[in-house]
Copies of this chain bind each other. A is one copy, B any other.
């Protein structure tokens, strides 16, 4: 593969040219460049030779740009401005002042820790853009492994090899019912009460660990639940319950701000437990922007139940 770019001049030539074009005066330009005038003259001559076109009209007493020189000046000006910003911008990325981080989350995270973290993070790092996507646990695993994702808030029931994780909270699930349901009259329920109630769950593939633990909890009390629908994101289950399709599990945090036709009931005795972890890829060279996000996310006070 041959080299892609080759230039008959150097940055120096452009800077010198720009300075002469600004002053239209070799000596003054040389002085402002802290350079001897002959050196400047020679560099400009080199540039003209390299471009194959005269850039200045030297009439002993006056220097003027040629049309070619004017075109070059117009192009060089923005170029130098871009180059001028470059070191600062690169440094800013290296120092983690700007950048962007892809973050995935589940509904539980958004209902609990995530808003506080986002608030604190944007205060501390206004230059870092977050790319937030609600995504099921299993998809987060894949994306984290492949590097598509920098970090994720998910349920820790999947394989987390090669990942750092930190448990953020654990919450017992309660039950969401239509307010008109018979069971809605009770203040608290037991799993056994749900034996004949159609359940709205989520596709098993999206979080097999949690799914299986729900079934295990039922098995512990000797029943096999009837699963009516599977929906994702889980917040959509609310709509189905409202339509009278059955009941679903949800943590108290997620069950805030329910429509009046739906009620939340605690579970006594065995109950599925939701755990929320923050996970990110182990790396010897963490991206500065990710490091900044993790620092804030891990420092935020835990929301416990």
Contact = CB atoms under 8 A, between A and B. Distances in A.
A186 interface: no
Contact of A89 (B33, B75, B89): B75
Contact of A23 (B1, B11, B32): B1
A125 to B, nearest CB: 14
Given A51-B90, A57-B285, A80 B19 contact: no
B11 A9 contact: yes
A53 B6 contact: no
A288 B67 CA distance: 8
A281 to B, nearest CB: 13
Interface string A238-270: 000000000000000000000000000000000
Nearest to A69: B90
Contact of A51 (B2, B5, B71, B87): B87
Nearest to A12: B10
Contact of A94 (B5, B68, B93): B68
A123 interface: no
Most B Cβ at <10 Å: residue of A67, A93, A288: A67
Contacts of A157: none
A3 interface: yes
A6 B5 CA distance: 23
A302 B189 CA distance: 105
A19 B6 CA distance: 11
Contacts of A2: 32
Contacts of A1: 22-23, 28, 32
Given A15-B6, A32-B2, A94-B52, A289 B67 contact: yes
Contacts of A7: 11, 15, 83-84, 87
B18 A90 contact: no
A259 to B, nearest CB: 44
A1 to B, nearest CB: 5
Contacts of A93: 53, 67-68, 71
Contacts of A122: none
15 contacts: A1-B22, A3-B33, A5-B15, A10-B10, A10-B12, A11-B11, A51-B87, A52-B91, A53-B94, A55-B90, A67-B94, A67-B289, A72-B86, A75-B82, A79-B83
Interface of A: 1-12, 15, 18-19, 22-23, 28, 32-34, 50-55, 57, 59, 66-68, 71-72, 75, 79-80, 82-84, 86-87, 89-91, 93-95, 99, 284-285, 287-289
Given A5-B83, A53-B91, A67-B93, 16 more contacts: A3-B33, A4-B80, A51-B86, A51-B90, A52-B94, A54-B94, A57-B285, A59-B284, A66-B94, A67-B94, A67-B99, A67-B288, A68-B90, A71-B90, A75-B82, A79-B83
